[in-house]
Amino acid sequence: MNDLDSTRLWQRFDLLEQSLCLRANRGCHYPGVRRFFTVVSRLGDGAFWYLLMLAFAVSGEDGATVAAQMAITGLVALAVYRQLKHRLVRERPYISHAAIQLGTAPLDRYSFPSGHTLHAVAFTLVATAHVPELWFILGPFALLVAASRVVLGLHYPSDVLAGALIGAALAGVCLSVAPA
C-alpha cells in the first residue's frame, strides 16, 4: 500500500467515523436523551465506581481485596490514559466538526482514548471477576457510559473502542497478577 492509498483509507475511515458521530449525536437534540446520557456520563466520571469500591471495602475482607484491586487498576488506568491522551492529542468531535453538538462539558480537551470507557470496562471486569452476579448491572452501565461519550459529542467511536480494549487489557493484567 502506497502513501496515497493509505491517505485515502484514513480519509474514508474519518468520514465513516464522523457519520457515526453525527448519527449518535442526534440524541442531543432531545432534552430527555441529553439529560439521561449526561447523568450516565457524570456517574462514569467516578462517583459510581467510588461508591462500588466503598461498598466492597465495607463488605468484609474479600470485599476489601476487590476494592483494592479496583483502586490499583484505576490508578494504573489513569496513568496510561493520561500519557496517551497528552501524546496523541486528538481533538474532540464537537471541536473538529461544527455539526456535532456538545451535550455536556468535557473534563479536558482531547478525546483519544475515552477514559470513561477505559475505566468502566476495567472496573466492570475486575468487579465481576469476583462477583459475577454484578454483570447484569455493571455490564449495561459500562455500555451506557461508552455510548454516552459518543452521543454527547465528546468522543469518536474509535476512542471508545480503544478505551474499552485498554481497560480490558489492564483488568486482565490486574486479575492475572492477583486472581479472583
> The domain spanning residue 167 has which CATH number?
1.20.144.10
Dihedral angle, C-alpha 132, 135, 136, 137, nearest 10 °? 120
pLDDT digits (tens, 9 = 90+) for 79-102: 998 999 889 888 889 988 888 988
Amino acid letter for position 132: P
At residue 180, the pLDDT reads 60
Total domains in the chain come to 1
Q: Please report whether residue 30 resides in a domain.
A: no
Q: Please report whether residue 80 resides in a domain.
A: yes
Asked whether the CA dihedral 52, 55, 58, 63 is positive or negative, the reply is negative
Q: Which residues of the chain have pLDDT under 50?
A: none
> Taking a C-beta distance cutoff of 8 angstroms, is the pair 70, 127 a contact?
yes
Q: Where are the alpha helices (DSSP H) in the chain?
A: 3-25, 31-42, 48-58, 61-88, 93-96, 115-130, 135-151, 157-177
pLDDT digits (tens, 9 = 90+) for 128-149: 999 999 999 999 999 999 999 9
Tell me the pTM.
0.89
Q: Please report whether residue 32 resides in a domain.
A: no
